[in-house]
Every structure is written in C-alpha cells, then in structure tokens.
C-alpha cells in the first residue's frame, strides 16, 4: 500500500484553522511544513504532496495558498532524509523549461525524492494572473498539457547519465552526451539541452489526477501514479478499472492509483464521530456555501438550506474539475440530501472518501479498498494538521504494518524506490 | 562597506574546477552551496548571490549552470540565519506572477533575507529554450523589464501588511486589505492579488546590473543596490557618478553600488601572484578563446595568439553585455596587448577588478575604491571556491573590521537591515 500526505493549510477541513490549537498563525513559517514532512517520514509514508493554485481566492474563509510549493519543498527536502516530495505543476501556466529545470534541481537537492503532479488549471481568475483574459478551452489545455509532459521528459533526457566527466585535464562534461531536443511544437518551442545535468531519479516521478475524458487519457499515457477522487468503493473500483484498461491500451504496466482519503480516528467510533461533528460545527454556513459554489461552478449562496437541491447540470455540461462534481451528483442521486446535509458531507475533503472510526475500523476499510481493487494506496487528506495526521500515523499505520500491508522501514532512498518504479533510461 | 559573495561553480576563474582539490564533483550537491553560504555568514557578509543563465553553453569547458537558483537558495536559507540570499531573475523569460510568488515565498522562508537581481537575458540560445526563435530587440527587452519590475512590486503590495487576521471566529484575512492590481500592460496581463501574503521585507531587495543606456536608466528608477563591472578605479568612478546622477534625476536617494571584485590573497605579494599564475596556467588556451569569443560576440578561436588584436567594433555596435565589452576595449586601448596577454587579463572574472596581494594591500585598495567614490562595497568573485573566499574572510575581513569599514556582527535580521534600506510601505 502506498500512502502520501497531502498537505493543505491547517488541514483539509475548511474549518480546521478555526480550531483553538490550529497552526493558522504559522502558515508562512517553513518550520511548520518541515515538521509535517518529518511526521510523514516518521510514519514511513511514500511522500508529501502539495496542490497548487494561481489565484488568491476567498481570503476571508481560511488559508488556502501561502508558500509556493517548489520553494517550500526544497527546504522540506533538507529537513528530511527519506520521504518523497511532490509538487503540483500547472502545465497551463508554467513553461516546460522552467518546470524541468526546477524539478531536476530539486531532484538533485533531495537526492532523488522529487515527484510532480501535472495538472491543467481551470479558473479564469488564475488565467488572469498569467496573461489570459479567460481560460483556454479544455481541448487546448489538454493538448498543451500533453506537449508539456513530452517536452519536460525530453529535457530530462537531454543529458545522458554518464555525461559528466569531471576530468580536470580534459572535459567537465562530454558534449556528445548533452544533446538538444529541438522541440518545435504547437504550444512550445524548446531547443534544449537543459541547464541541469541528469538528476538522481532520471525523471522525477510523474503523478496525474484527472477524471475527465482527456484527463484520463493523459494519465493513461504519461502518469506513473494517479490521484483519484472516489466517494465510495464502487466509484473507486469503476475508476480503477477504467484507468488500468486505458493504461494497458497504451501499452504500459499498471500504475498505482491513490484516491484521496479523509480520516477521523479515535479510540471509539462515537469519539471519532464526535470529532468530525465538532469540526463540522465550526464551519460557518457561509463558508460551506462558498466552497460548494466553487465545486459546482454556480452561486448557491441564496439557495434554501433545508430544501432539496435544485437539479444540477449533467456531468458532461460541467466545465470544472469532473471528479468532485461527479461525486456531488452521485450523493444527490443516491441520498437526495437537503442543501444543509450536502454541505456536511463535503465539509472535509470536498467529496473524497471519508472514514470515521477506530484505528481497526479504518485499517479494515483501507484494506477492503485495496483488496477490493479500488486503490493501490491513498492520498491522505487529514481534516486537521498536524492533529489528524498524528492520529493516523500513531494509531492506524502500526495496524497496517502489523498486517503486512505497509512498510515498516524504507528499503530504498528515492521516491521511485518507495513506489517500486524503475529508473527510466535516458 | 557592503560585501556580497557571488557564487559560481567552483569559482569565477574558468580553470578553478581543474584544481586538484576543487569541488567539481559536488556541483549538484546542495551541501556544497550551504557550506559556502555559512562561510559567507561567518564573514558577516551582506548576502550570497547567484547569477543565472538559460542555456547549457559549453559543457566541456567547466561547470557553468547546475542547480536552479531559487530552489538552491531555499535550502541555503534553512542552513543559515543572517546572510541575505539573492537570485537573478530574467525578466525576459520569467512571468511576473511566478517571480513575485516565488520571491515572496522565499522571503517568508528566509525570514526576510531575499533579494533579486533583475536582468534582461541576451542570448538566442536562451531564447530558443523559452519559445522564441531569437532574442527580442534590446528595446523590447528593456520595456518588458520595466513593466516586469512594476508588476512584481505591485503584486507584493497587493496584500496590506495587516491583511492577516487569523480570527478563528471571523476572517482569516480581511478581503478589503487584499486587492487586485489589474495590470493590463503591453507585455503582461496580471489581475492579482498575489497568492502569498506580504512578506517580512515587504519587497525583497531589488538589485540590478546594467551598463547599457537603457540598463542604467532602469537601474536608476528601480534598483535598491547595483552590481557594476569596473576594471579600474577611474572607470568605477565614472560609472558611480553617472548612476548616482541618474538616481538623483529620478528623485531617489543614492543607491549602493557594488563592483565585482576578484581577489588573490596570500601572505606575500609574490605568493599571491604565484597563486594567480598557477591558476591561469591551468586554463587551456582553447577555453580562454571560447570565453573571449562569448565576451566579444565573435569567434576569435583562429586569431594569432602572439599578435596584437584586430580592431573590434565600437561599444555602440556591440549587442551583448556592455560592461565587460567596454572593459575589453579599455584594456586594448590602454595596453595594446597581444591576444595571449588579453586572455590572461580576462581569465578570472572576465574583466572585473582584480586585486592581488597581501591582506593589507587588498584592504588598502578596497578602502581606496570606497573612499575614492568608486564603490559602496563589492560583489566578491573568488577565483576558487571555497579556497579564495576562505582566504578573503579569514585574512581581509578582519582588517576591514579593524579599520571600522565593515560590520563585526549583524545588527539586524533582514537583508534590508544589512543594506540599511527601509521597509517599503504597501
């Protein structure tokens, strides 16, 4: 089983920062993030992971973005020895040369522990920070993402593994082993070679998350591990089977699929539920309505709280992130909740799988998902940080280890080692 | 007096990596750079500084680029407590949103120790890694640089100093204190606000280096400190007076001007000269010819070594970096050297001021430059690293301290404190 810690502000619950002992004053303090990375390493997790966004958003409702991920991860690399470090990279806003260069540099700095989560950005407010009046179409964004991945990988291959000679009487590097890539595509012109010699992993590990049709296809062709959104096991299984079929069709070996997982752990189920309820109650309705408005791409702040929801447009008609929207449609279809009830379901993790209970109950469910073909591991989204991740690592990880489902010690030194991925040839 | 350590590979001398004890095998090892930053901090220097380039160049001749500066400086920030950290940022290839965001993030990570050296890039080989077939004209590059500086500063002002509330019953941040910038210019469209709350320094310190007419004007309007190229005191004085006059004309207070300085220090002048000669002799003629070809923008690899140089085009006709080219013209005019003699002059630091001698002699000359109105300090360009910077810090800095010319201890905690710059209001 593979486990990543998805770091987000004071935790994934929108009210996490409102807890009396939250670290909200430390959002700009790198030592907070270093400490979370060390906690993840104490739990022998595969990696820590940062999402990313390019617009400030609703700054009143809680911390969302603060430190930039690549600069934060460099410091976190130096505060740890084993844990992998994954940054989201927007193919919409980054240039492949900058991305390839920074990720390769971080792979050197971390001695082979970097990964990247390749995304397409989606919001007009972000586009307007990067030169566009509005987002380009989904078609263009995915075409650009594919060309982006291709170009970044080519840049990482522009230095052979044995290019460096360090021959004091001769050459620093063998020029015949440092070759341009000559990429002249539709979205990018990049001659290469990169300015950074080939890094310890060759390629930092490529994560991808995509629920839309082009997102799934991109993942099938390029991803080495996949983040998923799955509210329940059947939807996880359906996603898993669909993706692995596309991966096979692309002629590739199966890739690790890691759904997001929100956990509330306590010594009794009742105590865990109370933990969740207490946190839910801290969230002003206004904030949850704002969050739901973002998730469904329309303003629901004036809808009736205790009435059933108005009918939402079908998945095909929704232009935003598909996975979460599909989950919301699924909840509405299966449970016909009132607006207030739906807000409760979405308060932490926004529709990702939520497990609430004793350590044994949670370990059981995780095992059930993995053995049931719904997941190869999880992208942990603790409702509060560091509280919920401490609980998980101290109480759930030992059970997973005792069952032989999770490593007791790191057996390799790179993120590729942790994920069982081979090092790509240049 | 202000002193920065300009970190470059194994040292600024093109043959530094060929020394038997050079750190050439450690160019990708972040601990090497951390150790240099700690050395600079031991010497109470103002800052360490990275240049930057976007094309791999002649990889046979020695290490030039390796780690990417922003990611490297984040790690170096965590290995030190006081020293400032300055990254070159290309306004030609970066977008203002990315740059503002990463620098603000690093200013948080370093607790207020970041600076940036705003440059325009110049080589077609670099342009072809960033979407252009060739470099845009100097006019366009400088117009873009000016708009870039304006936009980055505006983004840093998009969060008021007191925007963060962290009020658990209310707002995380006060939205009325987080404002868009609505920049719709000729080169950039950036709505803002930034995703990063205002950083400890407000604005990371803006360095600039420019010898051309538009470069000097840009520096006069925006720079808070300036890197200069000056081969001798008269040229330093001329540059100093010209820049401060432009700064005054722009209605601003005088800025610190720091010429590059190459030093060979030993207990006797003869020993220092022997050090320099030994290093010069390690440089294959082929490499020095390659370097000179870059400096003068034409291929001189087949010129006669022991003959006087052919006439070079005047400064106005040269499209590359003006400061160094002006120095080369000045050396040719005043000394009429053969090609071989010129290569010797340029081997370390490429035309920057070079001081060779005992600690006393070097301290005398530095004092003479500062008291003679040629400099407010220096951008140290050690021929070898860490050798030459250790020599400088152990032997020259104590003399400068004893003469009251340089700090004995840090008296503040930010790079602005070190440079005596006030914190800008938002």
Mean pLDDT of B264-292: 91
Return the axis-axis angle of helices A213-222 and A233-249, rounded to nearest 10°: 60
Nearest CA in chain A to B26: A166
Q: Per the CB < 8 Å rule, is A24 touching B62?
A: no
Residue B137 is assigned to a ligand binding site:
no
What pLDDT score does A337 carry? 86
Which of A27, A37, A59 should one mutate to test binding to chain B, selecting the residue with the greatest count of B CBs within 10 A?
A: A59
> What is the separation of C-alpha B284 from the centre of its chain, rounded to a whole number of angstroms?
26
Coil vs helix vs strand at B173:
strand
**Residue A278 contacts B, CB cutoff 8 Å:** no
* pLDDT of B363 strictly over 90: yes
Nearest CB neighbour to B54, from listed A97, A173, A197: A97
* pLDDT of B349 strictly over 80: no
CATH architecture of the region A2-265+352-419: Alpha-Beta Barrel (3.20)
A75 upstream amide cis, omega within 30 of 0? no
Stretch 350-379 of chain B: residues touching chain A, C-beta under 8 Å: none
Chain B residues within 8 A of A18 when measuring between CB atoms: 168-169
How far apart are alpha carbons B127 and B124 in whole angstroms?
A: 5
Left if phi > 0, otherwise alpha if psi is -120 to 50, otherwise beta: which for B11? Answer: left
Nearest CA in chain A to B77: A75
* pLDDT of B137 strictly over 80: yes
What is the average pLDDT score of chain B?
95
What pLDDT score does B401 carry? 98
What pLDDT score does A46 carry? 98
How far B182 CA sits from the closest chain A CA (Å)?
A: 9
Q: Per the CB < 8 Å rule, is B75 touching A77?
A: yes
- Topology at the third CATH level for domain B2-264+351-419: TIM Barrel (3.20.20)
Chain A residues within 8 A of B104 when measuring between CB atoms: 68
Mean pLDDT of B98-122: 97
Which of A9, A16, A54, A56 should one mutate to test binding to chain B, selecting the residue with the greatest count of B CBs within 10 A?
A: A56
Q: b or e along B273-310 (b: 16 or more beta carbons within 10 Å of the residue's beta carbon)? A: eebbeebbebbeeebbbbbbebbbbeebeeeeeeeebe
* pLDDT of B351 strictly over 80: no
What pLDDT score does B177 carry? 98
Tally of CA atoms within 13 A in the half-sphere of B225 that contains its CB: 30
Q: Supply the ipTM of this predicted assembly.
A: 0.95
How far apart are alpha carbons A235 and B68 in whole angstroms?
A: 42
What pLDDT score does B335 carry? 80
* pLDDT of B334 strictly over 90: no
Give residue limits of the domains in chain A. 2-265+352-419, 284-346
pLDDT band of residue B211 (cuts 50, 70, 90) is confident
- Cβ atoms of A123 and A87 closer than 8 Å: no
* pLDDT of B426 strictly over 90: no
Question: Beta strand pairing status for A189-190 and A183-184?
Answer: antiparallel
Q: Per the CB < 8 Å rule, is A131 touching B175?
A: no
Nearest-CA neighbor of A164 among A175, A153, A149? Answer: A175
How far A26 CA sits from the closest chain B CA (Å)?
A: 10
Q: Kindly report which listed range (A105-119, A341-355, B167-181, B231-245) carries the lowest average pLDDT score.
A: A341-355
Q: Per the CB < 8 Å rule, is A60 touching B195?
A: no
Q: Per the CB < 8 Å rule, is A130 touching B173?
A: no
Nearest CA in chain A to B20: A168
**Residue B402 contacts A, CB cutoff 8 Å:** no
Q: Which residues sit opposite A84 in a β-bridge?
A: A47
As to burial, measured by CB atoms within 10 angstroms (0-12 exposed, 13-18 middle, 19+ buried), residue A208 is: buried
What pLDDT score does A36 carry? 98
Stretch 177-236 of chain A: residues touching chain B, C-beta under 8 Å: 178, 188-197, 199
Residue B88 is assigned to a ligand binding site:
yes
Nearest CB neighbour to A30, from listed B53, B109, B173: B109
Query: 10-residue block means of pLDDT along chain A (426 residues)?
Result: 97 94 98 98 98 95 95 98 98 97 98 97 94 93 97 98 97 98 98 98 95 92 94 93 96 96 97 92 86 90 90 89 85 86 77 93 98 98 96 98 98 98 92
Per DSSP, the residues of B288-335 read HHHHHHHHHTS--TTS-TTSBPPPPPPGGG--S-HHHHHHHHHHHHHH
**Number of inter-chain CB pairs under 8 A, A vs B:** 206
How far A395 CA sits from the closest chain B CA (Å)?
A: 29
Coil vs helix vs strand at A128:
coil
Stretch 226-245 of chain A: residues touching chain B, C-beta under 8 Å: none
**Residue B160 contacts A, CB cutoff 8 Å:** no
Which of B71, B81, B114 should one mutate to test binding to chain A, selecting the residue with the greatest count of A CBs within 10 A?
A: B71
Helix (H) or strand (E) holding B117: strand B114-119
Chain A residues within 8 A of B132 when measuring between CB atoms: 189
Rg, chain A, Cα only: 22
How far apart are alpha carbons B245 and A284 in whole angstroms?
A: 58
């Amino acid at each position: 089983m593979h486990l990543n810690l998805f770091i987000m502000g004071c935790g994934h619950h929108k009210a996490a920062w409102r807890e009396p002992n939250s670290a909200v004053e430390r959002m700009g303090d790198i030592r907070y993030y270093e400490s979370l990375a060390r906690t993840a390493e104490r739990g022998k997790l595969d990696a820590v992971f940062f999402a990313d966004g390019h617009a400030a958003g609703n700054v009143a409702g809680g911390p969302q973005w603060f430190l930039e991920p690549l600069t934060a991860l460099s410091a976190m690399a130096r505060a740890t020895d084993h844990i992998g470090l994954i940054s989201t990279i927007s193919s919409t806003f980054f240039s492949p040369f900058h991305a390839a260069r920074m990720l390769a540099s971080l792979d050197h700095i971390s001695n082979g522990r970097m990964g990247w989560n390749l995304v397409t950005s989606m919001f007009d407010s972000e586009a307007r920070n990067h030169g566009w009046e509005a987002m380009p179409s989904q078609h263009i964004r995915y075409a650009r993402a594919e060309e982006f991945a291709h170009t970044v990988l080519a840049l990482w291959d522009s230095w052979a593994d044995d290019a460096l000679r360090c021959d004091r009487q001769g050459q620093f590097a063998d020029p015949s082993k440092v070759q341009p890539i000559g990429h002249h595509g539709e979205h990018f012109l990049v001659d290469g070679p990169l300015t950074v010699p080939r890094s310890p992993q060759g390629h930092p590990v490529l994560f991808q998350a995509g629920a839309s049709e082009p997102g799934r296809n991109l993942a099938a062709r390029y991803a080495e591990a996949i983040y998923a959104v799955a509210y329940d096991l059947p939807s996880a299984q359906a996603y898993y089977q669909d993706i692995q079929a596309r991966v096979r069709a692309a002629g590739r070996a199966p890739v690790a699929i890691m759904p997001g997982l929100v956990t509330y752990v306590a010594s009794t189920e009742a105590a865990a539920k109370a933990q969740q309820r207490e946190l839910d109650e801290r969230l002003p309705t206004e904030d949850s309505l704002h969050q739901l408005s973002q998730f469904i791409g329309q303003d629901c702040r004036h809808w009736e709280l205790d009435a059933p929801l108005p009918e939402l447009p079908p998945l095909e008609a929704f232009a935003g992130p598909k996975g979460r929207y599909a989950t919301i449609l699924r909840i509405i279809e299966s449970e016909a909740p009132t607006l207030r009830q739906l807000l409760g379901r979405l308060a932490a993790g926004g529709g990702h799988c939520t497990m609430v209970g004793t350590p044994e109950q949670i370990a059981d469910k995780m095992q059930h998902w993995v053995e049931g073909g719904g997941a190869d591991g999880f992208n942990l989204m603790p409702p509060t940080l560091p509280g919920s991740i401490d609980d998980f690592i101290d109480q759930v990880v030992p059970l997973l280890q005792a069952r032989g489902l999770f490593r007791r010690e790191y057996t390799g030194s790179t993120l590729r080692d942790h994920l069982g991925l081979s090092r790509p040839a240049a």
